[in-house]
Chains A and B, each alone.
Chain A
Amino acid sequence: MIKELCGGNEVIWNRWYKNAERTPDRDAIIHWVGGEAPLRLTFSAIIVAAEGLAATLVERDIGKGDVCAIIMRHNRVLYPLYLAMVCVGAIPAILAYPNPRLHPDKFRQGIEGMSLRSGLDWVFTERDLDETIRPSVEKQDSTIKGVHFPLEWKKGNGLNGEKLNNVVNVHRRMSSSDPLLLQHSSGTTGLQKAVLLSHRAVLNHVKNYGKAIELTENDKVVSWLPLYHDMGLIAAFHLPLAFGIPSVQIDPFEWVVVPSLLLEAVSRERGTISWLPNFAYNMMADKITDNELDGVNLESWRLVINCSEPVRHESHEKFLRRFQGYGLNPLAISSCYAMAETTFAATQAPPETPPATLALDRIELAKGKIKIAQDAAQARICVSSGKTIADCQVRIVDENRRDVVEGAIGEIAIKSMSMFEGYRNYPEKTVEALSDGWYYSGDYGFTKGGEHYVVGRKKDIIIVAGNNVYPEDVEDVVGKVEGIIPGRVVAFGEEDRELGSEQIAVIAESGISNKQRQRKLKLEVIKAGMSIDVSITKVYLVPPRWLIKSSAGKPSRRANKERILSTGEATATGWNIHDYAGTEAGYTKSSQIG
């Protein structure tokens, strides 16, 4: 480890270095691969590997302030590469690795949208994606200077001589207010908002959130979360690295295929903390077989924190019922409310305490009112996302951004020491969301007895299994399907209780009334969704001029969702992917992508 790189300033590299000095042989990252021995990187080994990769970055003229997109699966190089970028003062931005169903054009559109907002300088990826990414780089107005394949890099001579001097100079000038990383909101057609976070924001968050979850030296994080998501990147990667505790990392592509991998890793590594989106509680409770649980012991798990989707009480109960017999402590179930704009968490349920719940009248709640349910059949159990963490404030405000009385529903506004400073190169979105140091989240909720409850969203964003999907993206692609009237489409989220998440439904106007042709058309709509890696599970075809318009003259998502779900028209016109029956020529052939 190179001592000259560690100065007195409060930047994240110094924290990592000090952790490596203090506990050089302790595991920092345990890269978990199903059926194989895990790859262990100690705190000193990851620093040494990062320094080596930093030398290659310097050789390739990658340096301070360069925005570096990482589009890679979880692998042995990913973690030290991220650290190496920080080492040379570059700004890492981990992006989602494309699913094979995502059409290359749509993937490129996403990259180009990000490039527009973030000013991407370099892309680090795997050889398989070269052909897909290259056209975005070669475009005339592209900000991307080049593509690199770090998995193919040969071990160099390390960071020394001129290269070392170069990096030492960068470190001398580094300050805690310098940008550390970029996170992107999801979206596939350029709607992404880039959140730039400083060293100070992340380090403050580690301190304050660490306190909220009573993090100790004995903790060990276990995660399958993608690192392009704030929950994966901040909670499961930055937090343990900065605090000096191990983090077991499972590739999300592997976890979703074999969900028991998480429990196996917790059991074998004696993991103590995990964060999960709500659907994961259902998926693990419903899909993991007894055989897969042979020998699994979950006693070490002290916190299983539900975050990034609305927290559902039924999911917690189901999870507990399934795994209590395997040592899961009921008091481990926890919750938090978090977003990239505040680095991560704003609220957290206290450890060793079940999240507070309130049984509210479902009908009154739909009207925006809080009333304790008199009839259990009409109750919606709302789960608290906990109390405000240190150096963070939460208000509930009305449409004029004035505080509402306690217990009333309003928009959740947050002010935090770990706040972002605005969306990068997106002033109009920054002005909408950020005012007088308060971030207006677009989420609806209420506060009762210091506990914060999140109950809905002002924005139409759909959250499917923890991933944000913009209805605009879906409407755009469906509106281009031949037979659908352009601009006459709405997409919205429909609750799927079995999955414990939302699924995507679409209402589209079409002049086609022949049943057989409608079936073909519906499948084309599904395929259009697949091309942007979105699973549309319900398609409602409606006749022209069926959709209700908003005052702005555009089809209203909310009004049309209510109409289709409440009037019984869903039954008359609706179509579920599971009801498809058809083998018409022309769409029976699946095409290979990428």
Chain B
Amino acid sequence: MITQELKQVILKVLRLDDWDIKDETLAAHVPGWDSLNHVNVILAIEKHFCVRFKPIEILKLKNIGDLQRLVSSKLEKAG
């Protein structure tokens, strides 16, 4: 389940008012989220949640649900 907070960060980077983002949604299927913009989305999430992703963690993401789980696990560890 994608949280509203993560969804809003993504929508803000892509400057979309809204989009139906589900666990299984692929980045490539969201307007504006192309390969060149991917890094902008990741940087915005890191900044917003004050987390840091390792390259291997980013490379393993298959869909937005994976991204949500990664963010949640980072926040959990940070306590």
Q: Which residues of A contact B (CB under 8 A)?
A: 34-36, 99-101, 253-254, 256-261, 264, 279, 283, 287, 289, 291-292, 465, 499, 523, 526-527, 530, 535, 537, 576-583, 588-593
Decide if A592 touches B24 in the complex (CB within 8 Å). yes
Decide if B59 touches A35 in the complex (CB within 8 Å). yes
Which range contains the number of B residues in contact with the other chain?
A: 20 to 34
Chain A residue nearest to B42 (CB atoms) is: A257
Decide if A257 touches B39 in the complex (CB within 8 Å). yes
Give chain A nearest CB distance to B72 CB in angstroms: 20
Give chain A nearest CB distance to B22 CB in angstroms: 8
Complex: A261 Cα to B59 Cα, angstroms: 11
- Residues in chain A near residue B29, CB distance under 8 A: 100-101, 530, 590-593
Decide if A35 touches B54 in the complex (CB within 8 Å). yes
Q: Is B48 at the interface (CB under 8 A from chain A)?
A: no
Interface string of B18-62 (1 = CB under 8 A from A): 111000111011111011101110110000000010111011000
Known: A34-B59, A100-B28. A256 touches B35 (CB 8 A): yes
Give chain B nearest CB distance to A75 CB in angstroms: 14
Give chain A nearest CB distance to B29 CB in angstroms: 4
Complex: A423 Cα to B27 Cα, angstroms: 36
- Residues in chain B near residue A499, CB distance under 8 A: 36
Decide if B14 touches A578 in the complex (CB within 8 Å). yes
Decide if A257 touches B58 in the complex (CB within 8 Å). yes
Give chain A nearest CB distance to B46 CB in angstroms: 8
Residue from A35, A577, A582, A583 in contact with B32 in the complex, judged by beta carbons closer than 8 Å:
A577
Q: Is B75 at the interface (CB under 8 A from chain A)?
A: no
Chain B residue nearest to A255 (CB atoms) is: B35
- Residues in chain B near residue A253, CB distance under 8 A: 35
- Residues in chain A near residue B28, CB distance under 8 A: 99-101, 530
Chain B residue nearest to A582 (CB atoms) is: B17
Decide if A258 touches B32 in the complex (CB within 8 Å). no
Complex: A583 Cα to B19 Cα, angstroms: 7
Decide if B31 touches A283 in the complex (CB within 8 Å). no
Chain B residue nearest to A583 (CB atoms) is: B18
Complex: A590 Cα to B21 Cα, angstroms: 8
Known: A530-B31, A577-B15, A580-B17. A256 touches B25 (CB 8 A): no
Complex: A252 Cα to B11 Cα, angstroms: 26
Chain A residue nearest to B25 (CB atoms) is: A590
Decide if B59 touches A258 in the complex (CB within 8 Å). yes
B17, B20, B38, B39: most-surrounded residue (chain A CB, <10 A): B39
Residue from B15, B32, B42, B54 in contact with A535 in the complex, judged by beta carbons closer than 8 Å:
B32
Query: Could you name 8 residue pairs across A and B whose Cβ atoms are closer than 8 Å?
Result: A99-B35, A101-B34, A256-B35, A257-B42, A257-B59, A287-B40, A535-B32, A577-B14
Decide if B19 touches A590 in the complex (CB within 8 Å). yes
Known: A578-B14, A582-B17. A35 touches B56 (CB 8 A): yes
Known: A577-B15, A580-B15. A257 touches B35 (CB 8 A): yes
Chain B residue nearest to A589 (CB atoms) is: B20
Give chain A nearest CB distance to B7 CB in angstroms: 12
Give chain B nearest CB distance to A468 CB in angstroms: 16
Decide if A287 touches B25 in the complex (CB within 8 Å). no
- Residues in chain B near residue A592, CB distance under 8 A: 24, 26, 29
Decide if B55 touches A583 in the complex (CB within 8 Å). no
Residue from A256, A260, A535, A576 in contact with B55 in the complex, judged by beta carbons closer than 8 Å:
A260
Give chain B nearest CB distance to A236 CB in angstroms: 19
Known: A35-B54, A257-B38, A283-B36. A590 touches B30 (CB 8 A): yes
Complex: A387 Cα to B20 Cα, angstroms: 53
- Residues in chain B near residue A591, CB distance under 8 A: 29
Known: A499-B36, A580-B15, A589-B20. A34 touches B31 (CB 8 A): no
- Residues in chain B near residue A576, CB distance under 8 A: 15
Give chain B nearest CB distance to A32 CB in angstroms: 11
Decide if B26 touches A100 in the complex (CB within 8 Å). yes
Decide if B17 touches A261 in the complex (CB within 8 Å). no
A292, A499, A578, A590: most-surrounded residue (chain B CB, <10 A): A590
Give chain B nearest CB distance to A393 CB in angstroms: 36
Decide if B20 touches A590 in the complex (CB within 8 Å). yes
Decide if B26 touches A35 in the complex (CB within 8 Å). no
Q: A523-B31, A576-B15, A579-B15 are in contact. List 12 more A-B contacts (CB 8 A).
A: A35-B59, A101-B29, A253-B35, A279-B36, A289-B43, A291-B52, A527-B31, A580-B32, A583-B18, A588-B18, A588-B20, A589-B20
- Residues in chain A near residue B19, CB distance under 8 A: 583, 588, 590
- Residues in chain A near residue B31, CB distance under 8 A: 523, 526-527, 530, 577, 580
Decide if A535 touches B17 in the complex (CB within 8 Å). no
Chain A residue nearest to B61 (CB atoms) is: A257
- Residues in chain B near residue A100, CB distance under 8 A: 26, 28-29
Complex: A523 Cα to B43 Cα, angstroms: 25
- Residues in chain A near residue B30, CB distance under 8 A: 590
Complex: A257 Cα to B34 Cα, angstroms: 10
Decide if B39 touches A259 in the complex (CB within 8 Å). yes
Give chain A nearest CB distance to B52 CB in angstroms: 6
Known: A258-B59, A465-B36. A581 touches B16 (CB 8 A): yes
- Residues in chain B near residue A287, CB distance under 8 A: 39-40, 43
Known: A292-B55, A590-B30, A592-B29. A581 touches B39 (CB 8 A): no
Give chain B nearest CB distance to A116 CB in angstroms: 28
Decide if B16 touches A580 in the complex (CB within 8 Å). yes
- Residues in chain B near residue A578, CB distance under 8 A: 14-15, 32
Give chain B nearest CB distance to A574 CB in angstroms: 14
